[in-house]
Amino acid sequence: MKIVKLFLAGIILLFAFYFRLLFWASWRVLAFSAIIIFGLGLILSELRGLSRKYANKKRVSSFLIFAIASLALSYALALEIKFNLTKFIVLNADANQLEKLGQHFVIGYRNFEEIKTLVSKRAVGGVFITTRNIRNKTKQDIQQEIKALQDIRQSQGLPPLWIATDQEGGMVSRLSPPLTRLPQLSAIVAGDKKIEQKKDEVIKYARTQGKELAEIGVNLNFAPGVDLNKGIINPNDKYSKIYQRAISADKEVVAKVALWYCQTLEEYGVRCTIKHFPGLGRVSADTHIADAELHTSIDELSNDDWVPFRQVMSNSQAVTMLGHAKLTAVDTKHPVSFSKQVVTDILRKNWQHNGVLITDDFGMEAVYGSKDGFGLATVKAINAGVDLLLISYDKDLYYEAMYALLKASETGNLDREMLDKSRKRLELSSHASKL
């Protein structure tokens, strides 16, 4: 029996150390509850045991179980108190500061009332909706929830929220059902026909998506992926799988298809998102779960992987999503998503790109596990010239990120010039969306 209890105490301690990490986001409340219930149960049972006259061996076992369970309980409570204190500080921060900094966040959610609270406090600029938010709901149900959020926003006299989703088609179809499930774009352009002969099919595909997204209130779609298919397959790649999602290996095909797609979505008031700059087609690691590096030279990227990015950027209102791979030819220390050398020097200065930049989900391991840590990475991204920070999977990270920005603003560590430029880009983008 003591061996079983000792094993259980060890499991509880493991939970206590990890229940606030990313992969526990869906089960965090359950995990915390289990730590409290089982931890307290072990502590109380061994307290009784310690008060009895057991042999020394049993007393040592009881003390060990008691100590491990107490440590687990204390550590879990400390983490939970820290999180709730951070959340309290954010939700009670100066309203003007929340609005000023909140416009830079697009946030996923699990509880609709919580996201309503953040919208009511003007603490976010956008909302990400995905499968967990629409399960067992009709188009009308989804439309009404989105409208409720936009009505709050309108009453505040603020620009509409970004309502974002990930509806690429194929394996990434977060709103299907109830929206039409379409194949991935690569299936549309496959075959022997010249790409120009596929234009009508691509436009028809984009019209279906644009119309359905607009009908429910989505105005930003995280598609198309313009990473080139370099045929790289890594068995440890659990989520990115670019080789399955890429449109083509041909840069010109990708550029044309992506532009047709984006321009068609714009007809319905939906922005497309080209992703994942600087291109993940050559990257083998999965940034969801690991650090990743892109070692290709700038000249080669400019003549190949970056062709679709530049063509779509120049001929549409596309938002550009920044990936979390390190572009080692430019910056060996930071992922692209918060690299000043990439965002400021290449995109903003060299390319003179004044469009909206959004990060991939900032909760990925390549960011969260970086040497800078999550808070500093958040500050660096804004200071580099990123406009929108996406926190789509673990919404609790929003409070840590906002807290980091509030503290950085307080201490003068936020670049006011960058914030002002970003504000103007977001205002211009919002105005263009209404036209």
**What pLDDT does 99 receive?**
97
Share of the chain above pLDDT 90, in %: 86
**What pLDDT does 54 receive?**
54
Q: What is the arithmetic mean of pLDDT over 96-122?
A: 97
- The strands making up 357-359's β-sheet, listed across from edge to edge, are 273-277, 319-322, 357-359
- Tell me the two tokens of residue 34: 């289990």
Radius of gyration of the chain (CA): 24
**What pLDDT does 22 receive?**
82
**What pLDDT does 431 receive?**
59
**What pLDDT does 432 receive?**
61
DSSP 335-376: -GGG-HIIIIIIIIIIS---S-EEESPTTSHHHHTSTTHHHH
- Chain centroid to Cα 412, Å, comes to 26
pLDDT tens-place string over residues 183-207: 999 999 988 789 999 999 999 999 9
Model confidence band, residue 435 (pLDDT cutoffs 50, 70, 90): very low
Give me the chain's average pLDDT, please: 94
Q: Among 13-22, 260-269, 410-419, where is mean pLDDT lowest?
A: 13-22
**What pLDDT does 192 receive?**
79
Model confidence band, residue 76 (pLDDT cutoffs 50, 70, 90): very high
Contact 70, 43 (CB under 8 A): yes
Cα angle at 323 between 321 and 326, to 5 degrees?
A: 145
**What pLDDT does 206 receive?**
98
